Amino acid sequence: MRDDPSVIALVARVGDGDQEAWDELVERYAPLVWSICVRYRLSRQDIDDVGQSVWLLLIEQIGKLREPAALPGWLATTTRRECLRVLRAGRRYDHEGLPPDDQMPPDPSATMIEQEVIVAERNAALRAAFAELPQPCRELLSLLMSDPAPAYAEISARLGMAIGSIGPTRARCLDRLRRSPHLVAVLDDQAGDGIEVDDIEIKEPRGEQGD
């Protein structure tokens, strides 16, 4: 995955003691931490415990992160380790003889974690790109994404937009979204053969990306 320059900048600002940058970092990556905890089927209390440890470890070590661009991977690995820790603290797995985490063999969940990182980075980039769209675009796309999606007539009435221009405006807004630098940074090498957005199951490694 290509480095996202905005993440590198955030990490540097946090290192300088910038609380706003930290807040932004937490907002960006909380869904990643959360989704991994959910994958481990932790209780809400355990998820809070894992979250607390992960953020504390991050603030403690952020100055020592040699590769700020590797932050998502670091967060995912740390979250996974913390999930195993709380499971072990409850001794729920004692009888299964789970080895200490530094001796954990690569298992299917490691692949799952990689997939979660890719999805989380893509999602974060999409949200960042969306947040930078002009207000009318965000309004229109939000309406189109609501469930159930309103009819064009209703959209027209709510946004004061001619029915005939909804389609072209939608296309323009989506194109603008697609061209956002946030997306270009993250998606360039993911999008080789299209992305199945609803499919975050573990997949076979992708073949050569030829044209």
Partner 1 sequence: MSKVTKGWDDEEVLAALQQALRAQRAVPPEFIEAGKNAFAWHNIDAELAQLTYDSTLDSARELSLRAEAASIRALTFTSAHLTIELEVAQDSLLGQIIPAQPATIRIQPREDAEITLTTDEIGCFSIQPIPAGQFRLHCRTAAGVDALTGWITL
**Under rule CB under 8 A, which residues in 170-209 are in contact with partner 1?**
170-171, 174-175, 177-179, 183-184, 187-188, 191-195, 197-198
CA proximity to 109, closest of 31, 202, 200, 34: 202
CA proximity to 93, closest of 103, 106, 80, 83: 83
Torsion of the alpha carbons at 72, 183, 36 and 9, rounded to the nearest 10: 30
The correct pick among 8, 13, 34, 152 for binding partner 1 (CB under 8 A) is: 34
**112: which residues sit within 8 A by CB, 6+ positions away?**
39, 202
Task: Indicate the residue among 106 and 210 with the shorter CB distance to partner 1.
Answer: 210
Q: Give the interface segment with partner 1, choosing from 41-49, 96-104, 105-113, 154-162 (CB under 8 A).
A: 41-49
Phi, psi torsion values for 105, nearest 5 degrees: -70, 160
- Token readout for 109 is 């969940």
Task: Indicate the residue among 35 and 156 with the shorter CB distance to partner 1.
Answer: 35
The correct pick among 98, 123, 139, 143 for binding partner 1 (CB under 8 A) is: 123
Task: Indicate the residue among 198 and 204 with the shorter CB distance to partner 1.
Answer: 198
Spatial distance between the Cα atoms of 85 and 106, rounded to a whole number of angstroms: 17
- Token readout for 23 is 């807040």
Q: How many positions of this chain bind partner 1 (CB under 8 A)?
A: 62
Other beta carbons less than 10 A from residue 39's beta carbon? 17
- Our finding on whether 31 is near partner 1 (CB under 8 A) is yes
- Our finding on whether 81 is near partner 1 (CB under 8 A) is no
Residues at the site binding partner 1, with contacts judged by CB under 8 A: 14, 17, 19, 22-23, 26-27, 30-31, 33-35, 46-49, 51-53, 55-60, 85-86, 88-92, 94, 119-120, 122-124, 126-127, 130, 141, 144-145, 170-171, 174-175, 177-179, 183-184, 187-188, 191-195, 197-198
